[in-house]
Amino acid sequence: MNVVTIDHRDATPIHVQLERGLRAAIVIGRLKAGDQLPTVRQLAVTIRVNANTVARVYSVLERAGILETRRGIGTFVRALPEHAWPPGERERRLRALAVEILADTMAAGFGIDEMFEAVEALVRDKTEEMVSDS
């Protein structure tokens, strides 16, 4: 399975592309809670990047609570129940993500309306996919 794609011509740093790609794969359901990710070395070879870059991104996502590494077994997408966050933490994290998305959108030269349209299209596609799977 091709977990994420890296555009080597893009000026965005590889580690940023990789982190965003993994987060996006989880959000859209390509990667689900409990799914095992390729090893650092496997993913590095697949996307043609340095293994240290992959290890660094896995580490960042593990610290963020998105991935978990089981010694001797591998790295997995972590399931985090909503109630596991302290009061207010869920809202704080969501707001921080929204600010980051808006900043990235504007820095890339897109308007806020375009971003909302893209998000709505993703939600629509995901909803249709869920309906067709059942």
DSSP string, 59-106: HHHHHTTSEEEETTTEEEEPP--GGGSPTTHHHHHHHHHHHHHHHHHH
CATH code at position 73: 1.10.10.10
Q: Which residues, including other chains, have CB under 8 Å from residue 28's CB and lie 6 or more apart?
A: 122, 126
> pLDDT per position in the chain (134 positions), as tens?
678 989 989 888 999 999 999 988 888 788 999 999 999 999 999 999 999 999 999 999 999 889 999 999 999 999 865 555 677 777 888 888 888 888 889 998 999 999 999 988 888 877 666 556 55
The candidate with the shortest Cα–Cα distance to 3, out of 58, 26, 11, 123, is 26
Q: Do both 68 and 95 map to the same domain?
A: no
Query: Domain check: are 73 and 85 in the same one?
Result: no
**pTM, full prediction:** 0.65
57 burial (CB, 10 Å; 0-12 / 13-18 / 19+) is: buried
Distances (CA, A) of 61 to 5, 91, 115, 125: 17, 19, 24, 26
Same domain, 11 and 67: yes
Domain range for 104 is 81-134
How much is the pLDDT for 100? 86
Last residue of one domain, picked from the residues 52, 79, 106:
79
Total domains in the fold of the chain: 2
| Domain identity same for 55 and 91 | no
Query: Of 79, 98, 121, at which residue does a domain stop?
Result: 79
DSSP 48: T
